[in-house]
Amino acid sequence: MKLYDECRDCLYNSQIKKVEAMHPDDDRLLGFKESARAICDGAPESWCAPLLMRAIDGVHRGIFGGIIDYSSERQTFNAALLALEDDIFSRICAAEEPLKEAIRFAMAANYIDYARISDLNEDSIARVISAAGRSAVGEDEYALFVGKLNRAQMLVYIHDNCGEIVLDKLLIRTIKQMYPRIKVVSVVRGGPIINDVTRADADMVGLGKYAYVFDSGAAIPGTYLPETNALTRAFIKNADVVIAKGLGNLETLYGEVCGAFYMFMCKCEHIAKRFKKELWQTAFVCDKKIVY
C-alpha cells in the first residue's frame, strides 16, 4: 500500500518516544532523531509503512548497536492475555456462533500495536475486550469465509503482534474444533521487530499445540513477499484459506494474495477511509471483494 505522510509521522513519533525512554540521557539520541527523521522524510513512495519501520529500526541498530527493544512489552502482553485465555475461550464456546465470536476477539486484539500506539499498557486489554463486544462481522465476508472453511484442507494464518497472538490462537482453536481435518500453518516474523510475533512468542503462548509454526525469514513488521523465504511463499500459494492479521500484513499483502481474509482495527484515517469504516472500528475483509 502507498506510504502516506501520516504513516511517516506516526511511525517516527511512536519510535522516538520509545527510544527516548530507552536512552534518556544518551548523547547519541539526537543523532538517532535526525537520522530517523531523514529516513522518514526521504522514504520513496514505493515503500509501505512496514519497510519504513524496518529502516528506522536499522538506524537504531547502527547508532546504538541493537534493536529497538520491546521484549518487556512482549512478556507483559503475552502473559496478560494468557491469564484471560480460559475465560475468553469459554465465552467463545458459549456464544450462539462461536466462530463469529472468535473472529470478533481476534479483530479487536489488533489494538495491541506499538508501531501506532506508543503508550499501551495492561489497561489496554480492557479496551480489547470492550472492542470485541462492539465488533461486527460482515455477513457477506463471513459466509464466504465459512464456505472456504467447509472445503479447506490447509489454512495459513499470518500473525501480527504479541498479546494479540493469544486471541489468534483462540480463533485457531475454534476453527480446529469445528473443522478438525484442516491443517493450520502459523507464520510469524523472521526476527524481532517492534512488538511483532516471533517464534519465541509463539512458544510462550503454546501456539504449536494447534498449528505448525514457521517464520517468514524476514524481520519486517509485515509480510513482504519478495523478502520472505520460499517455504512461506509456498504455504501462502497452496493454502485453501489465508488469514492475515493487522495493518502491517494488510499493507504488505493486500492485492498480492487473491481471496485472503484480513482482520484488523482501523487505527489510521486513510485505512478507515479506504475500507469505508470509522476510525478504531474493526474490519474483516476479503481482498477480492474490495475495489479501490
C-alpha cell at 213: 509454526
CB atoms under 10 Å from CB of 281, counted, come to: 18
pLDDT computed for residue 119 by the predictor: 58
pLDDT computed for residue 133 by the predictor: 76
CB 184 within 8 A of CB 235: no
Residue showing cell 518516544: 17
Q: Using alpha carbons, list the distances in angstroms from residue 258 to 76, 200, 242, 248, 254.
A: 35, 30, 9, 17, 8
**How would you label 15-42 residue by residue, b for 16+ Cβ within 10 Å and e otherwise?**
bbebbeeeeeeeeebeebbebbbebbee
Closest CA to 39 of 8, 68, 63: 8
pLDDT by 10-residue block (mean), the chain, 292 residues: 81 91 94 95 90 95 93 88 94 97 92 62 70 84 96 97 94 98 98 94 97 97 96 97 96 92 90 89 80 32
Q: Give the angle subtended at the CA of 202 by the CAs of 155 and 137, to the nearest 5°.
A: 50
